[in-house]
């Protein structure tokens, strides 16, 4: 923590009850550019008291906000969508400087934010209830969706604003108010996001931004009696802790967690298309996606040729600072993540894996760069075939049949995304049925999300809730049943 505030760098403050406030003891943490090591800015580390203050204000704002007609709530989101359009270049640059993804990916992510605001504004009109035939004369029975109160949104750094938009906009349109805790690495991007909501005119207290350590802020939110919902995206480990904390106050918790996603390639597949899908899923965002492909499970007769094609594409990817045009692979988010990747690659070699390409830090570039790495001769139970790495590392596993491929695919604790490349209608349909994962892609990589389609994972990749589509309202609302005798 640094107590010095400089003026030539960005400053991230807290946003509580419609006002920007600093940390009371001037406690700030640094946001560093992973491409250069330079200081991007400093961000306020909230105290426990400030987290409580944000929740109290959000709770007070809730009593007004929930009674505002939905089309009026939607109008704030529509306005925000227009304002994001105006600030997208600036926001994209800050995102790239904070967490390293290449600029066109950052811009694409802001496109998702805009689309989510528009989608959720429309979904408000469709927050339908149900009528049920009454069992008695002169009675009607109906069920309506109601908001719950304060929603705590806790988000990771790999998608600094898109994941926040899924949570915040669905919470707001349903009539809830929000306290948002973004990942510390991307606190300045979060600040710009909230500045836009402020400019859109959201009433004070409806959205609050609290930055600071996951342990202090996250834990306070997790245990707070007045927080009614936790919507969390992040690691399985932290998700488990939050679930434990939430159980004490019986709050609802939605968990979007890690993955160990695979691309299955059968011997009849179009190998050029498969190689393209694999490389895009494995190495864009430097492999730091929950849906990144980290295993290729390939039928033996086509393994050699597939690997050759994947290696060729991986080698052609331009590594470098995400702000510079033409670069396709940025740095890893921080030094810890770089060491994690190095540790897993070392372990893979110890367990018998063979590096086909990559396997090295790109030292000459200075930042936390790591080469797109492909490791063959990996066995299904090896460490790199089981644990989430969150970096540009791809394990190649050879199998003799579709059945073994699916067994290997399902043989991890995770169940987020599965892809299969095949020309066979039979195997494509079997994969759709037999993959134990929330997302299945046929002749497409593992990483793709369309607006309106439920997003989420099975097994340890989540706890059964879904985002992006209207199914998110199963998290953001609860049912009330109303009986009227007339």
- In the annotation, is 256 catalytic? yes
Q: What's the CA gap between 333 and 368, in Å, rounded?
A: 7
Q: Which of 91, 188, 196, 238 binds ligand NAP (CB under 6 A)?
A: 238
Question: Least distance in Å: CB of 456 to ligand NAP?
Answer: 7
> Going along 86-125, which residue ranges are E strands?
none
Q: Binding to ligand NAP by residue 241, rule CB under 6 A?
A: yes
Six token digits for residue 421: 């490349």
Q: Which of 95, 152, 190, 242 binds ligand NAP (CB under 6 A)?
A: 242
Q: Which of 33, 158, 294, 327 binds ligand NAP (CB under 6 A)?
A: 158
Determine how many CB atoms are found less than 10 A away from the CB of residue 204.
16
Contact 245, 97 (CB under 8 A): no
Q: Please, which of residues 397-416 interact with ligand NAP by CB under 6 A? A: 416
Determine how many CB atoms are found less than 10 A away from the CB of residue 338.
19
Q: Binding to ligand NAP by residue 183, rule CB under 6 A?
A: yes
Q: Please, which of residues 29-58 interact with ligand NAP by CB under 6 A? A: none
Q: Considering only CA atoms, which of 122, 200, 157 is closest in space to residue 286? A: 157
Question: Least distance in Å: CB of 464 to ligand NAP?
Answer: 12
Question: Least distance in Å: CB of 457 to ligand NAP?
Answer: 6
Q: Binding to ligand NAP by residue 214, rule CB under 6 A?
A: yes
25 secondary structure, DSSP code: T
Question: Least distance in Å: CB of 173 to ligand NAP?
Answer: 20
Q: What's the CA gap between 252 and 264, in Å, rounded?
A: 35
Among the listed ranges 150-158, 193-201, 293-301, 311-319, the one in contact with ligand NAP (CB under 6 A) is 150-158
Q: Binding to ligand NAP by residue 259, rule CB under 6 A?
A: yes
Q: Binding to ligand NAP by residue 235, rule CB under 6 A?
A: yes
Q: Considering only CA atoms, which of 456, 462, 463, 418 is closest in space to residue 436? A: 418
Partners of 178 in the beta sheet? 151, 207
Question: Least distance in Å: CB of 372 to ligand NAP?
Answer: 19
Contacts with ligand NAP, 456-475, as mask; x by CB under 6 A = -x---x--------------
Among the options 256, 299, 398, 467, which is catalytic?
Answer: 256
- In the annotation, is 290 catalytic? yes
Please give the full DSSP string across 159-193, using - where no structure is assigned: STTHHHHHHHHHHHHTT-EEEEE--GGGHHHHHHH
* Residue tagged 């790239």 (tokens): 96
* Residue tagged 């190649």 (tokens): 396
* Residue tagged 């009850």 (tokens): 17
Six token digits for residue 245: 């904390």
Nearer to ligand NAP by Cβ, of 17 and 235: the residue is 235
Question: Least distance in Å: CB of 292 to ligand NAP?
Answer: 8
Contact 62, 53 (CB under 8 A): no
Residues noted as catalytic: 256, 290
Binding site for ligand NAP (CB under 6 A): 154-159, 181-184, 213-215, 218-219, 222, 233-235, 238, 241-242, 256-259, 290, 388, 390, 416, 457, 461
């Amino acid at each position: 923590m640094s107590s010095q505030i400089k003026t030539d760098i960005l400053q991230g403050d807290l946003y509580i009850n419609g006002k920007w406030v600093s940390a009371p003891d001037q406690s700030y943490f640094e946001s560093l550019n992973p491409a250069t090591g330079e200081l991007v800015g400093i961000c306020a580390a909230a105290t426990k008291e400030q987290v409580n203050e944000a929740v109290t204000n959000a709770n007070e704002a809730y009593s007004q906000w929930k009674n505002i007609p939905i089309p009026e709530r939607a109008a704030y989101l529509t306005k925000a969508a227009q304002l994001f359009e105006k600030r997208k270049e600036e926001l994209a640059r800050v995102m790239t400087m904070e967490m390293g993804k290449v600029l066109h990916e950052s811009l694409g992510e802001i496109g998702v934010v805009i689309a989510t605001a528009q989608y959720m504004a429309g979904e408000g009109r469709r927050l339908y209830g149900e009528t049920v035939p009454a069992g008695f004369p002169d009675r009607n029975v109906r069920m309506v969706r109601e908001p719950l109160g304060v929603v705590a949104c806790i988000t990771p750094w790999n998608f600094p604003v898109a994941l926040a938009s899924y949570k915040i906009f669905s919470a707001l349109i349903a009539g809830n108010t929000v306290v948002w805790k973004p990942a510390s690495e991307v606190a300045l991007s979060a600040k710009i996001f909230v500045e836009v909501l402020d400019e859109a005119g959201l009433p004070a207290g409806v959205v609050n931004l609290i930055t600071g350590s996951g342990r202090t802020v996250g834990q306070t939110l997790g245990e707070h009696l007045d927080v009614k919902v936790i919507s969390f995206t992040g690691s399985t480990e932290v998700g488990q802790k939050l679930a434990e904390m939430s159980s004490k106050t019986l709050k609802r918790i939605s968990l979007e967690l890690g993955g160990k996603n695979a691309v299955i390639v059968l011997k009849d597949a179009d190998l050029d298309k498969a190689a393209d899908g694999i490389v895009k899923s494995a190495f864009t965002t430097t492999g730091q996606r929950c849906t990144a492909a980290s295993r290729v499970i390939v039928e033996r007769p086509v393994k050699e040729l597939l690997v050759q094609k994947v290696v060729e594409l991986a080698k052609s990817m331009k590594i470098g600072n995400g702000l510079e045009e033409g670069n396709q692979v940025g740095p890893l988010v921080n030094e810890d993540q770089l060491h994690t990747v190095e540790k897993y690659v070392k372990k893979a070699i110890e367990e018998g894996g063979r590096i086909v390409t990559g396997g090295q830090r790109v030292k000459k570039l200075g930042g936390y760069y790591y080469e797109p790495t492909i490791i063959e001769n990996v066995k299904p139970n090896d460490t790199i075939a089981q644990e989430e790495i969150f970096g540009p590392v791809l394990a190649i596993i050879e199998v003799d049949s579709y059945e073994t491929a699916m067994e290997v695919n399902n043989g991890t604790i995770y169940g987020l995304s599965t892809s299969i490349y095949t020309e066979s209608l039979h195997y494509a349909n079997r994969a759709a049925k037999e993959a134990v994962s929330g997302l299945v892609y046929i002749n497409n990589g593992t990483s793709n999300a369309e607006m309106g389609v439920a997003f989420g994972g099975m097994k340890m990749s989540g706890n059964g809730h879904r985002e992006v589509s209207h199914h998110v309202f199963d998290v953001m609302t609860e049912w009330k049943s109303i009986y009227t005798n007339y």
